[in-house]
Amino acid sequence: MGGMTGRSVNVGVLGCGTVGRGVVKILTGNSSLLHARVGAHIELAKVADTNPAAFEGLGLDTSKTTNDALSVVNDPQIPVIVELIGGQGIAKELVLKALDKGKTVVTANKALLATCCPQILESARKGGGDLFFEAAVGGCMPVIKTLRESLVGNRILALYGILNGTCNYILSRITFENLSFETALQKAQEAGFAEADPFLDISGGDTRHKLALCVGLAYGTSVSIDDIFVEGISHLTPDDISFAQEFGYRVKLLAIAKRTENAVQARVHPTMIPMYNMLSNVSGPMNALTIVGDACGELVLYGQGAGMMPTASAVVSDLADAARNILSGTRCRVPVMSWQGQDSRPLPILQMDEIVTRYYIRLAALDRPGVLSKVAGVLGDNGISISSVHQKGRRNEGPVPIVLLTHEAREKNVQQAISKIASLDVIADRPVLIRIEEEDEA
């Protein structure tokens, strides 16, 4: 394969949006640094974008830019393709074509990887090229490398991640400024931390894509995103977040994976975690991931999970790995999904109904005698025991909040109890439920 003259590796970048521009900046601005470390020049051979304005201000010679991404993939002089277009349309076509040609592909596209993983892995396997995606999870944090390489000798017992900066920013503003969700979202949009259409973020969908990739790497299990329970943050109120604080907890949108004896739990939902937990102190748009291994114990990574330069930093680390493999004539030195295909023993994903954890339940109760006894009765009938109850002061009018924390209970039982409680005539509004995580390692 061409593109490796002297000590130089040609790279083609598809998509010159925010992250693409960051990659161009690092490859041009830190080019001598990269040369000194990789021992070869990582040559930005072509950058493709359909919008000619995308190249403005980057100082790229016009011979290096094109509006035709396919021509970059087809160029025999370019062995490494960086896909930063995003989405599952043209990006998918280009990634598959590059892999089919045996090229090395670097991508930040978690949606594509999480939804089309088997097809992409099959193309990579057939083509024999490498596939890197450090930038797909956690921006600059070395999540993929740590799971694939650094913790290779560990059985992963659990993962707890704050993997969406938009949600964490919104929750931080609700927590510290007592804003409503709607106002906090608007502030996030004004500050550039939320998209005009924030659905994929606030629904937990983006976090679920990232969790699917982490579960695959940690457990050798290819997960369909449909198997991962997801609940977003738009129903959270400043009241719930402030009650949580009174009990010593913060509320975070967590991606959670846990190994049980014969299965893996994988779920994304707002979660109450103790104040003293490192993840409680992750504020604003920052991301963090706690990985618990049988040998390493608790390991936490913390950093910027999005943005031009942090994401580009991760892409460039993949480019260095790609170049090192090409220069040393090695391919697939580390398996794409961390496990050798033939040895992978996929663990099934546990049904959400089956998980066991503690719960925060807030009820809007009419201020009548006997409410608590009715509620406690329903919980007891479903085998759920209460660890703590706070009945908040009477309000002049309208329902009174009752906040309950439970001991460990099964999700199925809790959902049944909640449905029953919601139908009681003394309950004014849909109960609010927030799951709690507080094992030592959480």
* Set 97, 110, 210, 258: catalytic member: 210
CB 142, min distance to a copy of itself, A: 4
Q: How far apart are CA 227 and CA 34, in angstroms?
A: 41
- Kindly tell me which of 99 and 144 has the beta carbon lying closer to a copy of itself: 144
Q: Given the rule CB under 8 A, which residues bind a copy of itself?
A: 22, 26-27, 30, 33-39, 134, 139-142, 145-146, 149-155, 220, 278, 281, 293-304, 307, 309-310, 312-314, 316-317, 319-321, 324-325, 328-330, 333-335, 338-340, 343-345
- Kindly tell me which of 208 and 259 has the beta carbon lying closer to a copy of itself: 259
With a CB cutoff of 8 Å and minimum separation 6, the contacts of 188 are: 166, 169, 170, 173, 194, 198
Active site residue 412: no
Q: How far apart are CA 442 and CA 438, in angstroms?
A: 6
DSSP per-residue letters across 38-92 = HSSEEEEEEEE-S-GGGGTTS---GGGEES-HHHHHH-TT--EEEE-S-SSSHHH
Q: How far apart are CA 88 and CA 277, in angstroms?
A: 36
Q: How far apart are CA 49 and CA 414, in angstroms?
A: 51
- Kindly tell me which of 324 and 392 has the beta carbon lying closer to a copy of itself: 324
| Sign of torsion over alpha carbons 376, 379, 383, 387 | negative
Residue for token digits 């993949």? 318
- Kindly tell me which of 231 and 321 has the beta carbon lying closer to a copy of itself: 321
CB 440, min distance to a copy of itself, A: 12
CB 42, min distance to a copy of itself, A: 9
Asked if 440 and 290 count as a contact pair (C-beta separation under 8 A), the reply is no
Residue for token digits 């031009």? 308
CB 308, min distance to a copy of itself, A: 9
CB 10, min distance to a copy of itself, A: 17
- Kindly tell me which of 339 and 359 has the beta carbon lying closer to a copy of itself: 339
- Residues known to be catalytic: 210
